Structure 1
Amino acid sequence: MTTLTLAAVAAPFDRDLEADFGRIEQLVEKARADGVGLLALPEAALGGYLADLDGEAEGPPALTLDGPEIGRLAAIAQEMVVVAGYCEVTPDGTRYNSAVCVTGDGVLGNHRKVHQPLAEDASYGAGDQFVAFDTPVGRLGTMICYDKAFPESARALALDGAEIIVCVSAWPGSRTNPSNDLTRDRWKRRFDLFDQARALENQVVWLSANQTGTFGSLRFVGSAKIVDPGGDVLSDTGVAGGVAVASLDVGQTLETARRAMGNLRDRRPEAYPPVVTG
């Protein structure tokens, strides 16, 4: 039996990169002491998210995938697999809302957010694929925030062999009729439902990290969690933030979940209508 300890973070991050790295170092140090092998940090952990969802002109600092900041993140990770969100800039100047997966050996995978809510497309280009990749803790898939609202996102990763899916978010509370009590906020309810549904329908281990606190006009719902392939929440931070931690044998857990009813195995693609484009 090979037990893996997983952790998903709910914490605030902002434009102060030095402070962000300081927080990440503390989180990684504590996770290392707890024997964590895979740590998920929120969307925009390096430099903070947008201050609002109506198209922010300034935006977070733009970083290159091969630049010193991602290299610093890898150095902090050492033997641990760490996923974190950042604003990626390419040589042609296009910015993407991205999530990078690193160890001390360097970059293992990089995902550019495909689905863009509201006016996010005013600040970022859109990614165009969901691809799983191999890591020391198993085959991973990553996605960002609104990506999880589309079942095709997680299904594409599961069909590409992802055993664990990490979704990093800066998911806010409702902008219309917000609840004073975040635990009763309808956008938090959706955040939680998507986490459990995506894990269950694809029978994968699911890590969900999210921002907390407020930034600009946004108030984030926290609620980082780890969900098993049966859709059951193994650990949840709640809206106040913290770190959700759970340990399990991923291979055995997947085998047990898929033994009688295999949602991927029992698919009937020939019976499904073709996906409509446009």
Structure 2
Amino acid sequence: MAAHFGRDIERSMEKLGGIIERLRAEGIDLLVLPDATLGGYIGSLSNPSPGERPPALDPDGPELRALCAMAGPMTVCVGYTERAVRGGDPVVYNAAACLSGDGILGRHRKVHQPARESLIYAAGDRFDAFDTPVGRIGMLIDYDKTFPESARTLALDGAEVIAALSAWPASVTDRAARMPNDRQARLFDLYDMARAAENQVVLASSNLTGITGTLRFLGQAKVVDPGGNIVAKTWSKGGLAVTDIDVAHEIARARTVLNHLRERRVGSYHPTVVQR
């Protein structure tokens, strides 16, 4: 999904209630919402102000519990700012939760931090896949998908679907007059297609739209099949990229002749590469 979500969490929850109710009626099984859906994203990557930090939520608090109740049989991935304690000190993470009516199915804290995001958020330190009603899922947030090791770790952990939640802006140094021509718009699509194709998995990519502070978000939500083909996309406007896909069948078909995970030659790689 591509949509605008800001600081007003109550308003966002009302908006999500309507969206989820409609999609449940339409029989949607998996909904991937953007990063920072609850509380919005920071307003600058070059000079983020702690005073403008998004509101931080308890990972087991009322907002996520309410989303579980809304989701019912659906599986929903949502981004938010997580309040936590590390080493006795309070910190916040750029985080995501995957949930359903059964509760929290999996969590992820953004590992890779662009520009000066580390002035606001602490960094996560792991990538794990988890089981859901729609198959085994792994999550990435924003800049995580720039690094091949992130998605590869999830695929090696059995992820069939990678949910890539983003608050991905247009270029802040070389902004194009038209969004489709922006350098970051091209890279956003490129990373989505590459991560799906190299791991032969389905990738569901979400993003914010609109403007927060100095950042203009790209949209471009999409679903990419295990061959790296975009099978549904929203372009730069808000909306839903919807497709009906048999995940297990498409993965098996993609891996019939060339199986990238099985055919790795890990003994030839540099020792610093994770060899799972």
The one-letter code of the counterpart of 2:3 is: A
Q: Name 2:248's counterpart in structure 1.
A: 251
Deviations 1:216-264 (A, max 9, x none): 1100000000000000000000101200001111111111010100011
The one-letter code of the counterpart of 1:106 is: G
The one-letter code of the counterpart of 2:161 is: I
User: In the alignment, is residue 28 of structure 1 matched against residue 20 of structure 2?
Assistant: yes
1:56 to 49, 58, 61: 49
User: In the alignment, is residue 124 of structure 1 matched against residue 121 of structure 2?
Assistant: yes
TM-score normalised by the chain length of structure 1 = 0.95
CA distance in 2, matches of 1:71, 1:190: 35
TM-score normalised by the chain length of structure 2 = 0.95
CA distance in 2, matches of 1:84, 1:232: 24
Alpha-carbon shift at residue 34 of structure 1 (Å): 2.1
CA distance in 2, matches of 1:213, 1:56: 20
Deviations 1:54-103 (A, max 9, x none): 22213111111111111111111111000000000114421000010000
1:97 to 94, 97, 122: 94
SS at match of 1:246: coil
Q: Name 1:173's counterpart in structure 2.
A: 170
Q: How does 1:62-211 map to 2 (within 5 A)?
A: 62-91=56-85, 92-211=89-208
Alpha-carbon shift at residue 275 of structure 1 (Å): 1.4
CA distance in 2, matches of 1:167, 1:135: 16
Alpha-carbon shift at residue 111 of structure 1 (Å): 0.1
Question: Structure 1: which 5+ residue stretches go unaligned?
Answer: 1-8
Alpha-carbon shift at residue 24 of structure 1 (Å): 1.2
Change (3 A) 1:276 1:201: closer
SS at match of 1:176: coil
The one-letter code of the counterpart of 1:212 is: T
Deviations 1:134-170 (A, max 9, x none): 0111000001000000000000000000000000000
CA distance in 2, matches of 1:41, 1:87: 14
The one-letter code of the counterpart of 1:38 is: L
CA distance in 2, matches of 1:180, 1:20: 30
Number of residues paired by the alignment? 269
CA distance in 1, matches of 2:186, 2:136: 29
Deviations 1:153-191 (A, max 9, x none): 000000000000000000000111211210111101000
Structure scoring higher RCO (CA < 8 A, sep ≥ 6) equals 1
Identity of aligned residues (%): 52
The worse-fitting range, judged by mean Cα deviation, of 202-211 and 176-185 is 176-185
User: In the alignment, is residue 230 of structure 1 matched against residue 243 of structure 2?
Assistant: no
CA distance in 2, matches of 1:254, 1:103: 24
Question: Structure 2: which 5+ residue stretches go unaligned?
Answer: none
Once superposed, what is the RMSD of the aligned Cα atoms? 1.1
1:37 to 1, 12, 29: 29
Q: Name 1:4's counterpart in structure 2.
A: none
SS at match of 1:27: helix
Alpha-carbon shift at residue 32 of structure 1 (Å): 1.4
Alpha-carbon shift at residue 276 of structure 1 (Å): 7.1
SS at match of 2:137: strand
2:39 to 44, 47, 54: 47
The worse-fitting range, judged by mean Cα deviation, of 102-111 and 85-94 is 85-94
CA distance in 2, matches of 1:253, 1:187: 29
